[in-house]
């Protein structure tokens, strides 16, 4: 590509720009106000603009692409290797300028719809953390007074009226009221989670690829919507195996002298999506009445958690392939994802 490379370090109010002028050879590194950032590139010839895939990067990438520039989003870990000395905006922009000229895998630019879906998933994930915090605190407080209940949120909600009735005879009224308020807060969080899942369902209603992907055993609606949104453009990944490696469902490798050692899964990429895939695989192993021969053989040789990760890896591979098929030939009926997964697993 003959376009002039430009390194851009995004900040809240000031954007640092680094490039070498093609006509004079002058090295330019200047700070541009956020309001004038697009004007800086408005009347320029198409440039190769590199940015870290951080907060706001996808928004600027869409804006700059509409102006005719080629934008390359890169992971922060890749750019970090080109930062020679101090960590500041000037050095970061210089490092990005160096990195954008190197052959590497770019992060796919997400659409506003995909970012909206991810925003709903992030809010749902945060609400689930809040719910877990509230229930764990409530269990800990009740255990101080000898009240212990079974695991699970449903058992907690069922046992709470009787526990509060017993404790009201021994403890101050203000504490009992506070415990009731915390129980009510758990119920409100539960309703907010249900509302968020309903909005996710409504937002994905018109996407046929999500419907096809959600039919894969172990991949429901939540996993399908999160995967399609996190993937961005399926063509950014050469294969389903590469997508599985991006999610972090492949072994971490170390080695030297031609000897390669395989360790546990790398846990790179999107940990939220990886958690959904592994939990879905756990559900298949627990509730599947007729698992494939591949799963049965693997369960004889490996622990159940290893089998779950292996199945999640296969689901991830099929998920990307199904998405890519729909993007290439949207007029063709998609094959049964369930049959594809079990056939590949067998």
**For residue range 95-106, what is the model confidence (pLDDT) as tens digits?**
999 999 998 888
Q: How distant is the alpha carbon of residue 151 from its chain centre?
A: 28
When pLDDT is averaged across residues 184-193 and rounded to a whole number, the result is 94
> Which range is least confidently modeled, 225-229, 237-241, 243-247?
237-241
Mean pLDDT: which of 23-27, 79-83, 149-153 is highest?
79-83
Q: Across the chain, which distance is largest between two alpha carbons, in Å?
A: 85
When pLDDT is averaged across residues 309-330 and rounded to a whole number, the result is 71
Report CA-CA distances (Å) from 141 to 59, 175, 178, 189: 45, 10, 11, 19
- Cα–Cα distance for residue pair 76/54, rounded to 1 Å: 8
Residue 324: which pLDDT band, with cuts at 50, 70 and 90?
low
pLDDT of residue 334: 46
pLDDT of residue 184: 93
**For residue range 259-301, what is the model confidence (pLDDT) as tens digits?**
888 888 888 888 899 999 999 999 998 888 888 888 888 888 9
Between 310 and 342, the more confident residue is 310
Residue 340: which pLDDT band, with cuts at 50, 70 and 90?
very low
pLDDT of residue 50: 94
- Cα–Cα distance for residue pair 172/185, rounded to 1 Å: 20
pLDDT of residue 323: 64
The H or E element that residue 251 is part of is: strand 251-256
Domain range 4-100, its CATH number among 3.40.50.10320, 3.40.50.300, 3.20.20.60, 3.30.420.40: 3.30.420.40
Residue pointed to by tokens 């590949």: 344
- In terms of pTM, does the model score above 0.75? yes
pLDDT of residue 341: 44
Residue 332: which pLDDT band, with cuts at 50, 70 and 90?
very low
**For residue range 8-37, what is the model confidence (pLDDT) as tens digits?**
999 889 999 999 988 888 898 999 999 999
When pLDDT is averaged across residues 311-332 and rounded to a whole number, the result is 66
Residue 214: pLDDT over 70:
yes
- The size of the chain, in residues, is 346
Residue 41: pLDDT over 60:
yes
Q: How distant is the alpha carbon of residue 147 from its chain centre?
A: 38
- Cα–Cα distance for residue pair 323/164, rounded to 1 Å: 51
Between 310 and 290, the more confident residue is 310
Residue 87: pLDDT over 90:
no
């Amino acid at each position: 590509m003959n376009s002039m490379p430009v390194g851009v370090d995004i900040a809240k109010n000031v954007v640092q720009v680094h490039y070498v002028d093609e006509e004079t050879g002058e090295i330019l590194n200047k700070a541009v106000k956020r309001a004038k950032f697009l004007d800086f590139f408005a009347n320029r010839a198409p440039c190769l603009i590199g940015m870290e895939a951080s907060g706001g990067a996808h928004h600027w990438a869409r804006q700059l692409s509409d102006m005719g520039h080629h934008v390359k989003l890169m992971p922060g870990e890749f750019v970090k290797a080109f930062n020679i000395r101090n960590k500041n905006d000037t050095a970061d922009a210089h490092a990005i300028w160096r990195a954008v000229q190197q052959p590497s895998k770019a992060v796919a630019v997400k659409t506003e719809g995909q970012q909206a879906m991810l925003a709903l998933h992030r809010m749902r994930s945060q609400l689930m953390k809040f719910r877990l915090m509230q229930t764990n605190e409530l269990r800990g407080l009740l255990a101080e007074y000898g009240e212990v209940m079974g695991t699970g949120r449903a058992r907690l909600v069922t046992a709470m009226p009787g526990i509060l009735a017993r404790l009201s005879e021994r403890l101050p009224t203000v504490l009992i009221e506070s415990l009731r308020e915390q129980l009510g807060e758990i119920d409100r969080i539960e309703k907010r989670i249900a509302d968020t899942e309903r909005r996710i369902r409504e937002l994905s209603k018109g996407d046929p690829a999500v419907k096809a992907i959600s039919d894969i055993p172990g991949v429901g609606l939540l996993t399908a919507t999160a995967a399609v949104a996190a993937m961005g453009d399926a063509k950014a990944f050469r294969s389903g195996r590469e997508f599985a490696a991006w999610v972090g469902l492949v072994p971490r490798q170390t080695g030297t002298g031609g000897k390669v050692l395989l360790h546990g899964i790398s846990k790179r990429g999107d940990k939220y999506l990886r958690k959904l895939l592994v939990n879905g695989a756990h559900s298949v192993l627990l509730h599947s009445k007729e698992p494939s021969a591949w799963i049965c053989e693997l369960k004889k040789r490996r622990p159940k958690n290893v089998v779950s990760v292996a199945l999640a890896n296969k689901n991830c591979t099929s998920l990307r392939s199904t998405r890519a098929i729909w993007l290439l030939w949207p007029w063709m009926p998609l094959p049964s994802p369930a049959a594809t997964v079990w056939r590949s697993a067998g």
